[in-house]
Amino acid sequence: MDSTNPADSTPCPRLHKLRVNDTELAWFERNRPRANRPTLLFVHATGYHGRVWDRIAEAFPDLHVLALEQRGHGRSEKRRIDNWQVFGADLAGFVAALGLERVIGIGHSVGGHALVDAAAKSEAFARLILLDPTILEPRAYRSPEPLEFADGVHPVARRKQHFASAEEMAQRLLQKGAYHLFEPRILRDYCEHGLERLADGGYRLLCPPEVEASVYMNARSNGGVHDSVGRIRQPVLILRARLPPPVRAPMDFSSSPTWPALVHRFAHGREIHLADCSHLIPMQMPDKVIAAIREAVECWPHDTR
C-alpha cells in the first residue's frame, strides 16, 4: 500500500482484515491508541466503504481512528444480507476481537443502525453519534409492506458496476440522484477507493450491486433494534435529515428515513435536526459531523467519572 494518498499529502490509513462471525471484515486504522483517550469508530452506509470517512477522520490526527467496512462492502467478504441484525452482530464481534474500549461510535444510515445493536451488547462504547440511522417506527417492522418492482428485481441490482476510471464513475454519478450534493473531495474518495482494478483492464465496484440491493430489500428485517434502543444507557446524539414528504419513495435520499420520535426512546438521547440536509449527512455536511465528534470527545472525560 502506498504511504501517501496521491490526491494529497495526508498519510493513508492502514488496511487490516479479521474474521468475525465466519466473515472476513476489513477496516482502516489511523494513528495509535492513546492512554485515557477515546477511539473513534466509523461505520458507513449501504453501498459505501471505509475510505468515504477520510475527509472527516483527518480532522482528528491525535486520536485513534478506525473505519470498518461492513460485510459485503469495500474490501470485506462479499455476502448478501438477509437480515440487518447481522451488521450489529458483526460490529459487536469486531469490537470484542480488537479489545476496544472508550469507543465513540459514529455511524451513518445502516451504520448507525448497526451501532445501536452493537452498543446494546457491548460496554466498549462510551457515546454514539447516529447520522440519520435508518431506524423506522416500530410498526414498520411488525407489518412491513413488501417492496414490489415490476420484474421482481430491485433497481440497484442493475446498477452500472464497470468503469474505465474513477473519473468516469464520478462524472456519471454527478448526473444522478443526490450525488451532486457531495463535497467534491468526498465524491472523489468514494469513487477512487470504491473500485477494484480488473486484470483485463478497467475497474469494478467493490460493493456488488446485488449485495447492495439485498440490504435495501431487507431494510425492515430487524425490528429487534428497538429492544436495543431501550437497553442503551450511553449518551446518544442523532443528526437527522429533513422530514420526508407524506409518501417517500424507497430510494429517495433527499430526506430522512429515520423515525422522528426515535430520540425520545433513548435514555440519554439528543437530536440535531438538519432541516436543510439530505439523508447523506456526512457527504453533504462533513463539518457538522466533525463538530459533533469534537463535542463528544470534549464531553467524554465526564462520562468516565
Q: Average pLDDT for residues 62-86, to the nearest whole number?
A: 97
Asked if the structure places residue 3 within a domain, the reply is no
Pairwise CA distance, residues 43 & 12, whole Å: 18
Asked if the structure places residue 174 within a domain, the reply is yes
Q: What is the DSSP letter of 11?
A: B
Q: Do 237 and 116 contact (CB within 8 A), yes or no?
A: no
Q: What integer best gives the mean pLDDT of the chain?
A: 92
pTM of the model: 0.93
pLDDT tens string 175-199? 988 899 999 999 999 999 999 999 9
CA neighbor of 133 nearest in space, from 267, 295, 269, 276 = 269
Asked if the structure places residue 163 within a domain, the reply is yes
Q: Which of 54-68, 207-221, 273-287 has the lowest mean pLDDT?
A: 207-221
- pLDDT exceeds cutoff 70 at 151: no
Asked if the structure places residue 270 within a domain, the reply is yes
- Count of domains observed in the chain: 1
In this structure, how many other beta carbons lie within 10 angstroms of the beta carbon of residue 107? 30
Host domain of residue 25: 14-303
CA neighbor of 78 nearest in space, from 219, 209, 218, 222 = 209
What pLDDT sits at residue 242?
94
- pLDDT exceeds cutoff 50 at 163: yes
Asked if the structure places residue 8 within a domain, the reply is no
Pairing of strands 14-20, 195-197: unpaired
* Helix, strand and coil percent figures for the chain, each rounded to 5: 35, 20, 45
CATH number at residue 41: 3.40.50.1820
Asked if the structure places residue 7 within a domain, the reply is no
Asked if the structure places residue 6 within a domain, the reply is no
Asked if the structure places residue 20 within a domain, the reply is yes
Answer with the residue of higher pLDDT: 148 or 22: 22
Q: What is the DSSP letter of 35?
A: T
- pLDDT exceeds cutoff 60 at 267: yes
